[in-house]
Structure 1
Amino acid sequence: MPGRDRISELPESLLTHILSYLPTKHSVKTSVLSTRWKNLWLNVPALDLNCEDFPYREEEEEEEAVLGFLDRLLEFEPGSRLLKVKVKCGNVEDIGGLRDRISTVIHRGPQHLDFESFTEYRDHDDAFLYPFIDYIPLNLYTSRTLVSLKLTFSGLEDPGFVWMPCLKSMILVKKLVSGCPVLEELTLVRNMDPILVGTDEKIMRVRSGSLKRFRVPFWHGKRCRSSVKCTLEIDAPMLEHMTLGEDHYDSVMVKNLTSLFMVDLGIKFAVKFGEFVDPGDLSKRNEIRYFLSGISSVKHMNISEKTVQALELYSRVELIPKFNNLSRLVAVFPGNLLEFLPAFLECFPNLKHLILEVVYFREEEDAFELTNVPQCFLSTLECVALKRIHDWEEEEMRVATYFLENAAVLKKLTLSLTDYPRLISDEEIFEEVNKVTKRSPTCQILPDWELC
């Protein structure tokens, strides 16, 4: 029949499930469609609320609008569950009573909670800093239903007791890990503002018998600096993947990483932007030695340009530990440190697969020699990929020649070229490569985006 409303004829459970994928403000708008839809949004098992979406002229009106909306939602079916909850307070200032409503939401037994708070600090007469806006209720820390948790810009004062038996994934800035016995994934972001984190030296401990993936992401970029010293301590015997993508911490300590399979390093072992490790600093050298020894059983490694720079400085005064289990390495190497490449690869005696990106600075390049032959060249190195080659000039040819002439068991060399116009064709590159060695490892040329 023309004009028939087939969507409204669907079962209510299916309609509310569909609405659960929409922001709450959009599901509310469906209430004007018909009588059938009037209260349908109130039964949706998900809440996606942005407090800044409420129109207001005065602060009191905004507070009443937010609380009134939540009260209507929570009082409609007091026994129903909100399985997925996302609340963003943004820059909305203190809303009295919001903490109590969030507590009620948590009592509803959500499985997924994503909460962005608005926490500010003030200086009291006793010169200590205390939060005066924090919407996180204490019953969060004893939730028996949460499977994933993301907290952003929350004060997160130490609750004393934490028991979250179902939590598997967490993104936060404070310590809840020890009370989460099945936690498998954790992303940790440190707030670098000394006003928010205090001025005492601190230790952030991540201790978990279940954690499998741990990330400190690249987050603040150039702003990643702080006058507050903080040490990150990781003790996780089941950890398989670790990413340290930013220097959020002055020092990193690792313990019991016996299951570590892959590590992604983007740190330079110094928090301040543009600052690198001082080889003359004995305590920093000890820190780096213990850290490298603690991850030395890893099998796959990704390493950034700035981490290579830090290790080159460290290598001037101490030997880098051997990574005897490492079989695959992805490295970004500064062109001005290429003479360090043989000594660097010597640390991986059983390396089989190498993906190498050399970052050249043409105007400043000094002549370099690649003479020493690492152990892996003689017995294990089978596949080498030279990544993101812009031009095929003397430096690139010299690096390719180094592998072709010295890697005794090399089976495949891949040259990954960018899409920039070149004066030399792929065929000419093949001809130059074939002149280098009488052996015939497979050589292929791929566009950069095809290289994994």
Structure 2
Amino acid sequence: MAKNVNMKGVDRISGLPDSILSHILSFLSTEEAVQTSVLSKRWRNLFTLVSNLNFEFDEKHIHWRKRHKSSTVRTFMCFVDRVLFFHAANVDNFRLKCGKRVDSDRIYGWISAAIRRGVKHLDLNISLDKFTFPGALFSCRTLVSLKLETGFVLDVPKGVHFPNLETLHLYKVKFLNDDSVKNLFSSCTSLADVVICRCNMKNISSFNISHHSLKRLTILYSFDGSNCWFMIDTPNLAYFRYNDDMVAGYSLENLESIVKADIQFSIKYDDNQADMTSIFQGVSMASSLSLCATSLKLLLSCEPLPVFSTMVELNIWPVNLWLGHSIDKGLELLLSRSPQLEKLCFFQQLLISLPEEVPSCLLSKLKAIYILSFKNDEDCMRKAKYILKNGGALENFTIRT
């Protein structure tokens, strides 16, 4: 019988191949990965093989202050310089977050180094008043995703080319002009997912997204867009979320492939603002539609009211509820334009009156209904009885007080 070998004290991990150890280190922060270099000679240079690099410095950042009480901006810059100088592998993920005290020339060099190493996923959060990205960024063929959060005006030059870029997230970006927007989106031939959040539209008169491959589009909380037109032409778009103030106008075309739409207009409301027919007509082919009460009010003001012939799910949330503003037409009118509706969730106050002619969807299609903010009063009871009496296909009826 073989003797049991006493493995106590044997370092099995260090015996693993470099590829496995570098993969393990990729789950650590860059700082922690570098710290493993002091473990032994075997670990001294392993951090240079890690493909994920994450550098973050902010004088207000709690993590940095607690662990490096005596650290300075210079310490951070030297640390990044050292890691990139010794780094020997390609970079899959490169994330950089830094404040105004970090030298802009160093930032320029770090981004350039990531590009030279074939970066695929680039996440930049740069709080500078002025900065010019390296020219190589705008012709980076390896980029698959680009996430920008900037405090400066973004000037996108002509000749930009992102042949493999699939994901583009812009946060707090201020574009120089309409050409910058056009140059950026026209350069991304493989684009599938776009998020535009808290961007400044002051310099933009036409924010035009015309793209054949785009599948997901999210627009949230933009600033100074009162003079801006949103123009969207995306024949393969499957998901569209718009949570924002109203802008000067909308043009939505070729959204026949849309599956889910979420339209949430903010509480700012002006009866003299843009015609909403285009945006709601544009999403009328969606299978699932989510609205807030303000969005419902705007939808019901459209002439003609769109027909939602393929919609099977409708959610109306009590966000920005306009209880102080009368809604002449209620949810009942929308139900009459939704013949295939199977699932409905709504705030009970939005069902203004009970139609004499029962909507066809209630008679034969609606399987699940959720009523929010239900009260023990005559009006609510009348609505519930109406639904139970006429719900020919109803399987689930949920009431939440």
Q: Which bin holds the TM-score, normalised by the shorter protein?
A: 0.7 to 0.9
Q: Distance in 1 between matches of 2:42 and 2:168?
A: 38
Is structure 2 residue 140 aligned with structure 1 residue 147? no
1:349-368 equivalences under 5 Å are 349-358=339-348
Q: Does 1:102 align with 2:92?
A: no
Aligned pair partner of 1:324 in 293, 297, 309: 309
Deviation at 1:141, TM superposition (A): 1.8
CA contact (8 A) 2:197 2:219 kept: yes
CA distance in 1: counterparts of 2:328 and 2:371, whole angstroms: 15
Matched residue, 2:292: 304
2:239 aligns with 241
> Which letter maps to 2:83?
L
Task: Return the offset for 1:110.
Answer: 1.3
The correspondence of residues 264-303 of structure 1 with structure 2, limited to 5 A, is: 264-267=262-265, 274-278=267-271, 281=272, 284-285=274-275, 288-303=276-291
Report the secondary structure of 1:373's partner residue. coil
- Which amino acid in the other structure matches residue 118 of structure 2? G
TM-score computed with the length of structure 1 as normaliser: 0.73
2:159 aligned counterpart, secondary structure: coil
Deviation at 1:115, TM superposition (A): 1.0
Alignment of 1:216-235 (within 5 A): 216-217=219-220, 220=221, 225-226=223-224, 229-235=227-233
> Structure 1 residues 413 and 213 mapped into 2: Cα distance closer, same or farther (>3 Å)?
same
> Which structure 2 residues correspond to residues 200-215 of structure 1 after superposition, within 5 A?
200-215=203-218
Change (3 A) 1:411 1:140: same
1:249 CA drift (Å)? 4.2
What amino acid sits opposite 2:146 in the alignment?
Answer: L
C-alpha contact 2:99 2:128 (8 A) present in aligned 1 = no
1:83 equivalenced with 2:92 (yes/no): yes
Q: Which residue of 1 aligns with 2:120?
A: 111
Q: Deviations over 1:189-247 (max 9, x none)?
A: 2424xxxx6x5452221121100111124xx5xxx653763222211111111111223
Q: Distance in 1 between matches of 2:357 and 2:39?
A: 74
| CA distance 1:33–1:387, shift in 2 (3 Å) | farther
Q: 1:72 to 1:167 in 2, by over 3 A?
A: same
Q: Please give the alpha-carbon distance, in whole angstroms, between the structure 2 residues aligned to 1:227 and 1:295.
A: 21
**Percentage of identical aligned residues:** 28
Aligned CA distance change for structure 1 residues 311 and 368 (closer, same or farther; 3 Å): closer
Q: Residues 339 and 370 of structure 1 are in contact (CA less than 8 Å); yes or no, is this contact kept in structure 2? A: no
Match for 2:73 among 59, 62, 70? 62
Q: Which amino acid aligns with 1:301?
A: L
Contact 1:94 1:133 in 2 (8 A): no
Secondary structure of 1:386's counterpart equals: strand
Pair 1:277–1:83, CA change in 2 (3 A): same
Distance in 2 between residues matched to 1:201 and 1:82, nearest whole Å: 35
Query: Relative to 1, partners in 2 of residues 1:75 and 1:351: Cα closer, same or farther, differing over 3 Å?
Result: same
On the 8 A contact 1:16/1:40 being kept in 2, the answer is yes
1:363-411 per-position Cα deviation (integer Å, ceiling 9, x unaligned) = xxxx96423435324654331322445655444323222212334x333
The alpha carbon displacement at 1:43 in A equals 1.7
Superposed CA RMSD in Å reads: 3.0
Instruction: Select the residue among 376, 380, 397 that pairs with 1:414.
Output: 397
User: Which of 38, 43, 50 in structure 2 is aligned with 1:32?
Assistant: 38
- CA deviation vs aligned residue, 1:21-46 (integer Å, no higher than 9, x gap): 22211112222222222222122111
Aligned residues: 372
Whole-Å Cα distance in 1 between the matches of residues 250 and 99 of structure 2?
Answer: 32
| TM-score, normalization by structure 2 | 0.82
Q: Is 1:43 aligned to residue 49 of structure 2?
A: yes
Measured at CA, do residues 178 and 86 of structure 1 come closer, stay the same or move farther in structure 2, by a change above 3 Å? Answer: same
**Structure 2 CA distance, aligned partners of 1:417 and 1:295?**
29
Task: Tell me if structure 2 keeps the 8 A contact 1:144–1:164.
Answer: yes
2: CA distance, partners of 1:335 / 1:370: 20
Cα offset, 1:187, TM superposition: 0.8
The match for 2:165 among 161, 164, 167 is 167
1:429 aligned residue: none
Displacement of 1:87 in angstroms is 0.8
Whole-angstrom distance in 2 between the partners of 1:227 and 1:350: 36
Q: State how far apart, in whole Å, the 2-side matches of 1:372 and 1:67 are.
A: 72
CA distance, structure 2, for counterparts of residue 359 and residue 86 of structure 1: 47
| Cα distance in 2 for residues equivalent to 1:298 and 1:46 | 38
Alpha-carbon deviations, 1:70-123, whole Å to 9, x = none?
333333255x31111111114544433320221121121111111111131xxx
Q: How does 1:370-409 map to 2 (within 5 A)?
A: 370-377=354-361, 380-389=364-373, 392-407=376-391, 409=392
Query: What is the rounded CA distance, in whole Å, between the counterparts of 1:339 and 1:71 in structure 2?
Result: 63
5+ residue gaps, structure 2? 1-6, 59-63, 176-180
- Matches of 1:372 and 1:115, distance apart in 2: 57
Pair 277,100 (structure 1): closer, same or farther in 2 beyond 3 Å: same
- Could you say if the C-alpha distance between residues 185 and 92 of structure 1 is closer, same or farther in structure 2, counting changes exceeding 3 Å? same
Tell me: CA distance 1:200–1:101, structure 2 relative to 1, closer, same or farther (3 Å): closer
Partner of 1:441: none
Given that 1:200 and 1:228 are in contact with CA atoms closer than 8 Å, whether structure 2 keeps it comes out as: no
